Every structure is written in C-alpha cells, then in structure tokens.
Amino acid sequence: MPRLSRRTFLKGTAGVSAMAMTALSYGRVVGANDRILLGQIGCGDRGCRAHMGGIHKHDAAQNVQYIAVADPWRVSRENGAKLIKEWYGRDAKQMASYRDLLAIKEIDAVMIASPDYHHTTHLEAAARAGKHVYVEKPMAMRIDRLLSAYDAVKQAGVIVQVGTQSRSQPSSFGLRALWQSGVLGKASRIEQARNGEKPYWYHYLKKDVRKEDVDWDEFLMDLPKRPFDANLFSGWYGYREFSDGPVPNLGAHFVDLVHFITGATFPTSCVCLGRTSTWNDDYHFTCPDNVEALWNYPEGFVMSYSSDFGNGTGNRLDFCCDKGTLKMEALWGQATYSELGGPHRDGKIRGEHRVEPIECPDHFLDWLQCLRSGKTPVAPIEAGLHHSIAVLMAMQSFDSGRRTIYDPQKRTIVEG
C-alpha cells in the first residue's frame, strides 16, 4: 500500500462523524507524521505472539510501527522490546505501568493484552488519553467498569476493535450470509461444547518468575494487597480475581460469533451452574473446570455454552433451526448445513452442504485499515458491550445460584 500523505489522510477523514474520530483522536493521528505509532500493553504470549506478530505481517504495507511496551514483568517487557529492535531497528520504550505508556504523546494507538481484570481500566485510560485501541476479550469482569469504559470510548470517539477475532474469518462471513438468506429458518437453540482433558490455565504456569522482576502492585491494581505469589502471577487465568474462567474467556468467542451471525445483541435472561469437578490440587485454582450457561434471547432462541475439562470428548457447535441444522467443527472449523432435524423443512435444503467462505481482512488488518479510514471495525465497542453483558450475566448467576435478567434501558443486571 502506498504511503498516505498527511493531506490525503486529512481529506479522507474530514467527513467522519464525531463518534468515529473526535478532534482529540484526529489530532493524535496528524501528529504521527503519517506513520501510525503503536504501544503494547501486556507482553505475554497473547501480546507478543498474537498482537505484535499479527501486526508485523501488515506493518510495512500499513506504515505502522511499535515504539513502546508496558508490562509488570521485566522479562515480558524485554521480550516485546526485542521484537521491536529486530523488526524496526530501534530501541523500544519500556515501562511497568500502562500509565507511563499512555503518557507518550507520539503513540496513536495501543493494543491491550493484559489480564482480564485489567481490560476495562486500560481501555478507559487509553480512551481518555485519546488513543485508538485494540482490546482483548472478555472486555469486562464488572458491569460498572464496563459501562464506564464504554462511555469513555463513546465520548472520546476513538476507534476500538475488540479481540473477538472469530468475526474476521471467511467462514464467519459465509455463515452470516447463509443466516441472512433465511434458508435455515428460525433458530430454537444454538449451542457450543468446548471441552478438554485439562484446564487451559495450567499451560501458563511458570517457575522462573522472580519477585524482584515483577511490579507486584501494578499487577494487583486495586485488589487487596498480599505477598508475591508466582503461581497467581503466571497462572492468573485460573483465579477468579483475575479471570472468570471458561464462560467469559472461551465462551465469549462463541457468544460474539452468535451475535455476529444472527444480529442478536443482549440476552434477556441467563442461568449458569458449574464447579471444580476434576482438578482439585495444590494450586487451589478458583475457576470452575466444569460449567454450563444458558441464555434466553428476545429473538426466540436459547443459547448454550459448556466446558468440561475433565473429559476432552464431545466438542460441538450447532445451530438448531426449524428448517435444518448448521454444524461446525469447533469454533473456526469447516461448517456444513442440512435439513436434518428441521420440523418445518421446506425442501430448499437437500443433503449436506458446505458453507462457502467469504474473504475478508484479518482482525488486525481490519483495525489498521479503520485507523486510516475512520470506518467502524468489524468488532466495535458495541460488540464488546454485548458479549460482556452476556458473560457477566452468566457469572453473576453462577455466583448467586439464581437467574439473571438484563434491562437494556437501565443498563442493569438483576436477579429474579
């Protein structure tokens, strides 16, 4: 892609609404001298491998460069800085706190791959600093912080892409087109089972984390202070203070994909049950290894998500409709549809058919292109709000043992 001049950029974005690009964010891009400068908040496996690696595939064509990294762990910071030196021949600015990174005036946009508990804090601070944002899912663990971050983004007008990258798959666009054709009819139940022989959080445990290398207070943020714990720091995916487990962490992809395909937004009610059935050990993880959530949607279907990490069989993703059934292999696998099971099947589907993919930019490229054009990304802040409300309803039901109900007018989750 040819280099965009400042004049061309100004011309191309002059008509963008305040929702997409306010004077604050508009000024940030102009100050970047035609090159979009990025900062990475969170430099673990997701930050360095997925975010930075995913951007690097497009950085030359999109005229993008990383210049700074922030992470409470010195080792992760240095890993991110090493990539910047290797790719761009420049020394990266390194800091433990996101606050210091957001204070760098040259940075136009940030990518957030911090622990789940940090997402809304980092997102809101980035928006208030006038930075465009790519933020990982689940976008929130508390509804008050979700709404505060959402409102800050809308007020600032920055461009946000939420990290539900299953939207940016050719198969997902093909599924949405199939759904919109009406050939499957009306859904009664949409379900996913995502199982495994061991919880994913064990994979992240590290034995080489030293207290002197970690800004422990930065990691804890506003949680109660306690002595340094290497297992808590590296295995945070398995502890409820930092992550709520499979429903929001894995299920958010499924929830968001259902929203993308069907056009649904908020569930009306939810129930969720689970427990630790298999993995009781000395790590004392608090996220459930066995859980199931059920949501009612105003469109008339029930959505189900479950994970069992005590047995790896039974994975599926099905759309059960009155004119047929749509089946996928896991989340990003091949999708097929047939008239199987449809009580109102009308002969328009005969036999099993492959869902044809529709080409689209990958999730990172879509975001970068929107930073240039001011257009809305494929997974905007509204998509993050929608999936977050769904998983927050589930976890509140899990904790209380009661059904939860969402009121979109009051923006509240109540039990009833």
Q: Can you give the pLDDT at residue 330?
A: 62
Question: Rounded distance, CA 310 to CA 304, Å?
Answer: 19
3-state secondary structure 33-58: CCCEEEEEECCCHHHHHHHHHHHHCC
Model pLDDT for residues 61-89, shown as the tens digit of each residue = 999 999 999 999 999 999 999 999 999 99
Domain contains 292: yes
Domain contains 1: no
Question: Which residues span the domain enclosing 59?
Answer: 6-166+364-380
Residues 6+ apart with CB under 8 A from 212: none
Q: Are residues 133 and 223 in the same domain?
A: no
Question: 86 near 52, Cβ under 8 Å?
Answer: no
Give CA angle at 337 (331, 338), nearest 5°: 150
Total domains, the chain: 2
CATH of residue 73: 3.40.50.720
Would you state the structure tokens that stand for residue 126, as one six-digit string?
Answer: 């980035």
Q: Are residues 404 and 318 in the same domain?
A: yes
Question: Rounded distance, CA 348 to CA 344, Å?
Answer: 11
Q: Can you give the pLDDT at residue 397?
A: 98
Q: Are residues 129 and 183 in the same domain?
A: no
Q: Are residues 327 and 369 in the same domain?
A: no
pTM: 0.92
Q: Can you give the pLDDT at residue 34?
A: 79
List of the chain residues with pLDDT < 70: 1-33, 330-332
Q: Are residues 247 and 355 in the same domain?
A: yes
Paired with 294 in beta bridges are: 271, 304
- What Cα–Cα distance (Å) separates residue 263 from each residue in 62, 302, 407? 31, 15, 18
